[in-house]
């Protein structure tokens, strides 16, 4: 699907996505990113530092959320800016004994928040929640359109 600037309206829904997260995902991300902090894989350690349990990496959550935009626009290089604020941790429970079950679910929806015809860009505002709470706020991706 090709998205054109002329086809967009402020407030237009671009889609929604559900992201299932397991502790295995976190371990893989830790290895790929180099962020081996035990709060992302060790229950006792995470609780010992005052967290409610193992939490997803903030950058993992941020990256998972923007996937909605890259899927919609069809070209990851079209995303020219992406920013957010982290508000709540995504707690990922241990589901090792229940294969196929996620330890956390992140819900993402996106709407066109602004259109800049001079720059040929559109801002997509994302709503990102887990366990009924917003985990990212002011999550905004700017895409350049042909």
User: In the chain, what percentage of residues exceed pLDDT 90?
Assistant: 92
Within 10 A of 95 (CB to CB), how many other CB atoms are there? 17
- The CATH number covering residue 104 comes to 3.10.129.10
Residue 36 has pLDDT above 80, yes or no: yes
Residue 24 has pLDDT above 70, yes or no: yes
Over range 18-29, report the average pLDDT: 96
From CA 118, how far away is CA 22, in angstroms rounded? 42
Q: Please tell me the pTM assigned to this model.
A: 0.92
Residue 96 has pLDDT above 70, yes or no: yes
pLDDT of residue 97: 85
Q: Give me the number of domains the chain comprises.
A: 1
Q: How high does pLDDT run on average in the chain?
A: 96
Which region holds residue 138: left if phi is over 0, alpha if psi is between -120 and 50, else beta? Answer: left
Cβ 69 vs Cβ 110: under 8 Å:
yes
Q: By 3-state DSSP, what share of the chain in percent is helix, strand and coil, each rounded to 5?
A: 30, 35, 35
Q: What is the pLDDT of residues 50-71, one digit of tens each?
A: 999 999 999 999 999 999 999 9
pLDDT of residue 146: 77
Domain of 124? Answer: 5-144
């Amino acid at each position: 699907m090709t998205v054109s600037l002329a086809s967009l309206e402020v407030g237009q829904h671009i889609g929604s996505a559900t992201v299932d997260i397991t502790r295995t995902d976190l371990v893989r991300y830790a290895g790929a990113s180099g962020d081996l902090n035990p709060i992302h894989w060790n229950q006792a350690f995470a609780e010992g530092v005052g967290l409610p349990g193992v939490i997803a990496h903030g950058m993992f959550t941020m990256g998972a959320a923007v996937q909605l935009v890259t899927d919609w626009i069809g070209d990851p290089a079209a995303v020219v800016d992406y920013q957010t604020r982290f508000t709540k941790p995504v707690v990922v429970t241990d589901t090792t004994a229940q294969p196929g079950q996620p330890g956390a679910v992140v819900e993402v929806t996106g709407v066109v928040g602004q259109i800049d015809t001079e720059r040929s860009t559109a801002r997509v505002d994302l709503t990102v929640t887990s366990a009924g709470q917003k985990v990212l706020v002011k999550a905004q991706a700017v895409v350049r359109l042909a």
